[in-house]
Amino acid sequence: MTLETLLSLIENGENLTVEFKEKFSEHKKIAKEIIAFANTKGGILIFGVRDNRKIVGIPSEKEIVELITETVNFYTNPKIDFEVEYFEIKKKLLAVFFIKESKNKPHRIEDYNPKFDIRTAEVYIRIADKSVPAGKEMIKLMMIRNNEEKLKNYSIGKNERIVFEFLEKNEFITAKQLSKLANISSRRASRTLLNLVRADSLLIHSKDNGENFFSIK
């Protein structure tokens, strides 16, 4: 990255792939940001910049890298790779961490469970300029795509038609709504909607609280 590119990123503010940190806070809070980037489209974490884009710098290269390394090693699962570069702007040092979109999703806060438990796992994704909890449908979709599971003998049935009929009059639908409309279990409703996403017929969205909803593509 060039200095000019970094200055442009700072000027444009935080967004889906850019996050500012004035200083290192708690390991778990930083882990949440790193996990969200890895689970979404990757991103850049810039230390030494306030949320209002004011450049304040960091005191030490070594300290910040050690803290990030500790965060990745002890607070993320699976572990997440990163790269770091340093820049000096107006005699203030910035540490810029690059996190790529992962091919091993979903990443979660380390919980020391030998197996992934969707009921308790703390998984985060990026929405606009925020790192938010991932809903169960989003987590399932990450797992399916990570395993490259393909739809087999997929066809439009009664439940799928209910989805499309509902979306003719409404902008969004949730698994809870489909469960009630079709009189099916929440699990089956969720699976139906995810299959439509995998079939490239629906888009999946997330609210800040982690709730997922779906719309026509």
* Single pTM value for the model: 0.92
Outline which parts of the chain fall under CATH 1.10.10.10: 142-216
Per-residue confidence of the chain (217 residues) as pLDDT tens digits? 999 999 999 999 999 999 999 999 899 999 999 999 999 999 999 999 999 999 999 988 889 999 999 999 999 999 999 999 999 998 999 999 999 999 999 999 999 999 999 999 999 999 999 999 999 999 999 998 887 767 777 888 999 999 999 999 999 999 999 999 999 999 999 999 999 999 999 999 999 988 999 999 8
Half-sphere exposure of 64 (CA within 13 A, CB side): 22
Outline which parts of the chain fall under CATH 3.30.950.30: 3-133
Radius of gyration of the chain (CA): 20
Identify each DSSP E strand in the chain by its residue range. Answer: 18-21, 43-47, 76-77, 83-89, 92-99, 108-109, 124-127, 130-133, 202-206, 212-216
Hey, what CATH class is 3-133 in?
alpha beta
d(CA 198, CA 141) in angstroms, rounded, equals 8
Helix, coil or strand: residue 48: coil
